[in-house]
Each structure stands twice: as structure tokens, then as C-alpha cells.
Structure 1
Amino acid sequence: MAPPRGSLLTHDTTAAPTQSGRPSPFLRVAAWAGMALVGAYVVIDVVLQLLPPHYSPIADAESNLAVGPFGWLMNLNFLGRAAMTFCVLIVVARIGPVLATRRIGSAFLGLAGLCSAALVFFPTDVNGPGEFGIAPTTLVGTVHVAFATTGFMLALAAMALLTHWMRRAPEMLGLRRPATVFLVLAVVGLVSLTISIAVAPAVLGATERICLLGILGWAFVVCIGGVATTQEK
């Protein structure tokens, strides 16, 4: 017997297919755009590390890159991460079954993307010479830390829920293992970041970047699933 209309077990039959039975071009564009934005994010981060004022990727938070003569590039990167998040949301919305894990995970992921965009408007407080860790000295800097922290936590919660959802999405089954690997990496990074803030602030930048690597890698994997779904059989 088919599940009742509106049931959590109901598949999203309006997802990817067009009238011809082929996947929607919109899904293909969103998936490729998400992958491109992940790559661009990494490239911009690396380039900014090589530009003045030469922040340390080991000790300094990534947000410091938005403060300085080339800070506008990092602000574009924050917006790019938000755009990447919504590309992932489009991919997730157009494949697999509609379950509570997908709905809640997507909501969390969308909020995480908004937190990333908000960082543009609230620059961080950069530490003085010889200072490490996170110690905002202004209201704007405090708001930045709040958005950054909330964004990380929402992103990881969303990743956990959506990785669990992948078990019920035939299009994503082959990618669940790499998605889980990146989820674990992100969790390890966030736990390490929390510990570094308390006891080893000189490596805060490195731990934050481990968490970011997990988040970006997970997003890339999901977008690969979107691309694969649109391939001709």
C-alpha cells in the first residue's frame, strides 16, 4: 500500500525530473555551481594567506583575513560560502525522499549559510602582537564570534542529519561514506577548536581550518551526487 499523502515516507516526486523524464537542468547548474564555489573558496583562502598582512594559518582565525587591505576578498568568500550552502540545499531538495531529517537538516543548513553571509557586516577583532585566541574587544567583534560559532554548530548539525538522510536517498547511497568521513573531520575540527580556545590558542587557526575542510568537503560530495543524478543513463 502506498504511504498516505504528506507522510514522511513520501518521495519528492516533484524533484529532479522534467516532463521528458530527464533530470532538471536547474539541479545540474546548482550542483556544478556548488562544486565551483567550494573550489573558489579554497583558492581565495590560500591566496589571501600569501598577501599582506600575512596572517598565520596556524594561529590566526580565518576571519582575520577579512581585516586588512585585501579583506574585501574574504568578505566575498563569506558570501560565496553562503551561496555554496544554498546550492547544496537545492541539490538536497531535488533528490531523494522527503523525510524529517531532510527538512530539519535543510533548515539548519540554510541558517548556517545566513550566518556566513552575516560575517561580512560584522568584522572580527584582530589580536594584538603576541596575542592568541578569541577575545573580542568590541560589540561588533562579539557579534562576529556569535555568528561564526552559531554557523559552525548549525552546519555540523545539518551535516549529521542530512548524512543520515542519505541512507534513504538511492542517488546518494554511494556517497554516504565519503560524506561521513568529512562529517567526522568537521566534528574533530570543531572539538579541537573548542579545546584550542581553552588551552592552546596558538593553534586556533589550524583547528578552525580542519573544521572548515570537513564542511567544504561534505558540501562538495553532496554536489557530486547532484551532478551524478543528472547524468544521462
Structure 2
Amino acid sequence: MAAFDAMFFVFAIPAVVFAGVSKGGFGSGAAFASASILALVMEPGAALALMLPLLMLIDAATLKPYWRRWNLRASLLLIGGGLPGVVLGAWLYTVVDGDAMRVLIGAVSIGFVLWQLRTRLGVTQAAGATLSTGAGAMAGLAVGFTSFVSHAGGPPAAVYLLSLKLRKTEYQASTVLIFWVINIAKAVPYAGLGLFTRETLMLDLMLAPFALLGAWLGVRLHHSVPERWFFALAYVLLTVTGFKLIWDGLA
């Protein structure tokens, strides 16, 4: 894998900053666009492995600004459902090849965009009646599974958290706590599956400053930038990369 060429960093640096901004200030919903973008220039498994330590770094950097501002009950419910979901995702990873992972990541990307469009067009009510505890546990299972296979746990977490009608900062803080735990849990099977390599870890060290920059920007922008501007860009990126990954996987 020619990971150190200039073209790789043209893709990787904006992707990592974007992940930091999303996780640091906008509920993690668009952070997985980074893995989708990186999967265009490297193997999907390597892209996931490269991003996980950076996501964990962003989690650690954003814990303090949102410390104890989360909804603890909702966070623990999603974490409790998410841990078995991580195990399920680890099993699936062992039985599919790289092209199938490209199609899966691409499909999750497109599905997320369609879900957001349906919500914003009024076809689906994302924040209607409060979902039950059982529904929250199932959402947690989806969080763990999709987070493991594509770092895309944000959408199912959003479905449940939005139904609770949390305040903006309470919602953001809850996602920070949830994915801090889930990402730590993912690191164990990632290591067991041999996804971390010397090369990905070296790239992580090189990209770590950009992850921290994104996290810092995200926290600062949390109270000042309208979410619709940020997520509009995310939807465009996810749509383009999603279709590209599906095309590559099927071809």
C-alpha cells in the first residue's frame, strides 16, 4: 500500500479534520465519512484501522469540554446494546472480503443520506414520540455493529437520542461518552483481527495533530455554526464516496 504518497494526504488530512469537527461539535453523525473517503485510496480494512486510533484520540480530547453534560441513562442504554453489536460486527468482518466491505460501507453511506433527506423533507419524523427502552437497546446494537464495520454508529444513535428531545449540548455530550466507550471496545477485536499494522500506526502518528485540530474546531464551532451547513457538505461527500465505493466493490 503506497500510503505515504502526496495523493493519500490530499484525501487523508481533510478527512481526519472533518472527523474531528464532526465528533467534537456535531454529534458524530458525519464522522464516518472519513473512513468512506479513505477507502477510496486504501483497502477498506486498512482505512477502518487507520481511523480508529484517531477517533479514540478525538474522543479523549472532547471528553473534558462535555464532561458530565450528557444524559447518562440514555448513554448507558446505547452502550449496553452497543457492546454485543461490536461482537456481531467482528464476526461479520471475518466472513466477508474487501469488495463486500466496500459495498457495505458505501450502502451505509447512501442509506444515511437517504434517512436524513426523508427526515428533512418531513417523510420521516426523527424526533417524534420518545422511543422505548427496548428500542433504545436495539438502537445500541445497531450502533455497535455499524460502528465496527464502518465507524458509522452515529445514525442509529441519533435515531434514539433525537427521540428524547435532548438539548443540543446534552445530545453532543452523550455521543462523546457513547463513542468513547464503543471505540475502546472496538480496539480489542481490531487488534485481534490484525487490522492494526506498523504502517497504519505510523500514519496515525502523522495525522494525530490534524485529528486534534478538528476536535478543537468542533468544540469551538458547536455553539456558533448552524449544523445544516456542516451536514450539507457531509451529505454531498457521503453520496459521492458511497456510490464510488459501491461501484468499485461490484466492479
After TM superposition, the score normalised by the length of structure 2 is 0.33
Higher relative contact order (CA 8 A, sep 6+): 2
Q: Larger % of helix: which?
A: 2
Larger radius of gyration: 1
